[in-house]
Amino acid sequence: MKWRGRGGGGLIEDRRGAGGLSGGGFPLPMGKAGGGGIGLIILLVIYLLVGGLPGGGGGLGVDPGTGALPQAPAPTEAELKKAPADDPAKFVDFVAGDVDATWKKIFASSGKSYEQPIIVLYDNGGVSTACGNAPSTVGPFYCPNDRKVYLDIAFMNELQQRLGAQGDFAQAYIVAHEIGHHVQNQLGVMEDVNLAQQEDPEGANNLSVRLELQADCLAGIWAHSALQQADLLETGDLEEALNAAAAVGDDRIQKQSGGQVNSDTFTHGSGEQRVKWFKAGFQSGDPTACDTFKGDV
């Protein structure tokens, strides 16, 4: 990507160097996405036009009082808009700002307002969030309770090296995927999925996969927008994103961990599925192409 010199428009909260979790982290109490029962086959565009299903409205319903350490002081608006000084953070700042600009346009076309998520950069082993305490080994994630994306850049680089998903557009895909979860949260998709999981716990993994694949598709929509910008993408960028999508498939990760591939335990989808849905967003640039809750995925 030819991103240098283009500035950044993200909201960056830089917690690097602030110290990690004093007592070690634990997996976020996000819950699983469950299945069935409340009409989740509705197209994403319906959420944009009418504001979600009855009872929807954002968040997975996790109690921020269970397990989370005291939150860091809220950054000021000036701090969030201050340009980062180092290249890794500058890159995240640019990508997040560009993804946000894409979603602002899409939301505005349906008469809605898009709220930018804050991107929290952290290191030293973990971070405290409104969803709980997370070690860096969790990898990049989105917390719906505070509407923030959390990135440990060093761990993200290490993960890419281990999985063979290298290149700056591979990292851009990761950022766009996590902001895709923010879009889902704003539109009520996450809350609807959470309600469905409670109704049918046995279908939890299936709907979790569908939620993640939709975030991949939403990342592809941004990539479509990036392609329309003069001299931003370079030869090989799309392949980097597709390699990253394949590399973080549940089947690939299960193989690399030495276990057997078991689709019943998938929570994010196979590499093939993730590539398929990223392509669906990239080729169309249209949110209606991202209906992962209907039919086979």
pLDDT, one tens digit per residue, over 60-112 is 222 333 344 445 567 776 677 676 778 889 999 999 999 999 999 999 999 99
* Amino acid occupying residue 234: E
Examine residue 2 and state whether it is found in any structural domain, yes or no.
Answer: no
| 53: pLDDT strictly greater than 70 | no
- Cα(39)–Cα(174) distance, rounded to whole angstroms? 29
Question: In which band, very low, low, confident or very high, does the pLDDT at 23 lie, cut at 50, 70 and 90?
Answer: very low
Burial of 57 (0-12, 13-18, 19+ CB in 10 A): middle
| 41: pLDDT strictly greater than 80 | no
- Cα(175)–Cα(140) distance, rounded to whole angstroms? 8
Number of domains in the chain: 1
- DSSP SS3 for 173: helix
- Provide the pLDDT for residue 38: 29
User: Which of 141, 162, 151, 153 lies closest to 60 in space, CA to CA?
Assistant: 141
| 56: pLDDT strictly greater than 70 | no
Which has more pLDDT, 32 or 202? 202
8 Å CB contact between 259 and 196: no
- Cα(185)–Cα(61) distance, rounded to whole angstroms? 11
Examine residue 1 and state whether it is found in any structural domain, yes or no.
Answer: no
Examine residue 292 and state whether it is found in any structural domain, yes or no.
Answer: no
**What range defines the domain where residue 65 resides?**
11-287
- Provide the pLDDT for residue 146: 95
- DSSP SS3 for 254: helix
- Residue 5 makes CB contacts below 8 A (sequence gap 6+) with none
- Provide the pLDDT for residue 60: 24
- Provide the pLDDT for residue 189: 96
Structure tokens at 113: 């307002």
- Provide the pLDDT for residue 5: 79
